[in-house]
Chain A
């Protein structure tokens, strides 16, 4: 079964008199447990697409189905629940709360999932352990390196055990060595049985994946599936 499905998804921005077509009718499906890379030049609509897939934004036209449900039919309550339990989102700029330490940042999704006290602490600590940051739990984001911040963000995205992980240029702000490390983490996450979609500019990073979607000027120009485990 397709975990997600886009049907003529478009996004337009009105900039004064000019209409920007950030996405111009995108159609594709992603199956359970696929590892997908989204590629394309800057401004081709990759982030716009990811934000729609992550329910952080809504398309101006078209239909986006997540787990078989049209997200237009969901209210704030249900969308929040999706973002909280079903989707882990990793941003290029990390988007950590600057005044909270690593553990508090990782705990945040659990706060809204209604998990409290010792259980929450334990889950957050073990998520940090999985990304190798168990000795950095009390550090604030500005006391961590870029790679460490992104690993905190990965721990946060995984802490509520979502089935879908979306990463928008997770390595964009990191050097290639650190980027490689992050990609190995994503690979491991995919191996655990999750669906992973990652935006990247780098072909060598896309090589980790099974399938590459290429965007150009908001349109899907190619969809290459490759056999093998990446």
Chain B
């Protein structure tokens, strides 16, 4: 019996057993959809977060009063610490030997108004004038950056995020406009490039102003964080050591004592992220595992239920001259046709879900090639085992025994 003959016969059998075929495909689809969509979502998220964190630049770190707080005790301990002030930043600026930029930042939330239009809950950032060196998230779309002069003279100049530009000014050119930030009046000197959203929170709903201006309005008695960029990746570690040492000494601690301030860098962010999401991943793995098992069981079950009927069929075929390999070939082709069509359907559906999640939810999803591969292999693997194994056993029977199986 030729391959074509076997394929033609397989297709006939699948057509003749439409319900069984459909159910088997359904079982495959369930498993594959779960693998592809869940992997796409978790991997998309993971990739996105690591990109975000690593785009901070591998040689940037920041110092602040609290660091990553993970418990109440830590919080109360940290709250008793001395604040970090902008003169600390200035001190580090003057004494660090391996830093390319030292940028103090302070944060507040206000509403911003222009000609009766309002942007609510805007992230207000007082920032040192060296901020442009920190990375492309501070790139300007139009206008200019805040300058050192503006910092020195506490000018009421502001660089706004793209959301603010759109909400307040719309089609009007924002540069040179006067807007209200809280109770104060500011000139818009620049608009940032669009930065996009992290997990559904826009990062373009932001107003930057000189740190000095910020402190003259909101007071200098709040704790700031100091972002430091090392002169090069090579001196990154050394630069962190130097900054910590200088700050410890300045805060009256011994070099060997632990710091009474927090140090954050892409690694600490990443460690925090990993810790926070490991449970989530475990859950995802459980979901995937469960669907694979369910899909697999559904497939196996349907194929096994069919086996008594099929055993008689195998008996008939052997009685008229089918060899064992003819039987195996027929069942292999049937199983491959069912499982690969189920697998392909599952991949398409899983990809569709990933795309929908991407569009409709803040979770970034990305179809991973390897998940498609794993999904297809799984489908075909389970299909072949579930479809061919019973056939293999049946084809080993004496024809008369196989014939004895009544439907």
Contacts and interface: CB of A to CB of B under 8 A. Distances in A.
Nearest to B312: A95
Given A57-B398, A95-B319, A99-B17, A76 B1 contact: no
Given A57-B399, A111-B9, A99 B16 contact: yes
A56 B319 contact: yes
A81 interface: yes
A9 to B, nearest CB: 15
Contacts of A51: 400
B398 A84 contact: no
B323 A76 contact: yes
A56 B399 contact: yes
A112 to B, nearest CB: 4
A81 B249 CA distance: 95
Given A56-B398, A116-B5, A95 B403 contact: yes
Contacts of A97: 313, 316
Contacts of A83: 318-321, 399
A97 B323 CA distance: 17
Contacts of A99: 13, 16-17
A187 interface: no
A56 B322 contact: no
Given A97-B313, A99-B16, A112 B322 contact: yes
Name the interface size band of chain A: 20 to 34
Interface in A82-107: 83-85, 89, 91, 95-100, 104
A180 to B, nearest CB: 26
A172 to B, nearest CB: 16
Contacts of B315: 95
A180 B401 CA distance: 30
B353 to A, nearest CB: 36
Contacts of B398: 56-58
Contacts of A81: 321
Contacts of A77: 323
A115 to B, nearest CB: 10
A118 to B, nearest CB: 14
Q: Is the interface of B mostly helix, strand, loop or mixed?
A: helix
A1 to B, nearest CB: 24
Contacts of B13: 99
Interface string B304-329: 00000000110111111111101000
Nearest to A98: B407
B2 interface: yes
Interface centre among A84, A112, A160 (most CB of B within 10 A): A112
Given A97-B316, A111-B9, A112-B1, A84 B321 contact: yes
Interface string A50-83: 0100111110000000000000000011001101
A221 interface: no
B5 to A, nearest CB: 6
A108 B317 contact: yes
B284 to A, nearest CB: 42
B310 to A, nearest CB: 11
Contacts of A108: 316-317, 320
Contacts of B16: 99-100
13 contacts: A55-B399, A57-B398, A57-B399, A84-B320, A96-B316, A97-B316, A100-B16, A109-B320, A109-B321, A111-B1, A112-B326, A114-B1, A116-B5
Interface of A: 51, 54-58, 76-77, 80-81, 83-85, 89, 91, 95-100, 104, 108-109, 111-114, 116, 156, 160
Give me the 5 closest cross-chain CB pairs, A-B, nearest first: A84-B321, A99-B16, A56-B399, A112-B321, A57-B400
Given A97-B313, A109-B320, A112-B1, 18 more contacts: A54-B319, A55-B399, A56-B318, A56-B403, A57-B401, A58-B398, A76-B323, A80-B321, A83-B320, A89-B319, A89-B320, A96-B316, A97-B316, A100-B12, A111-B9, A112-B320, A112-B326, A116-B5
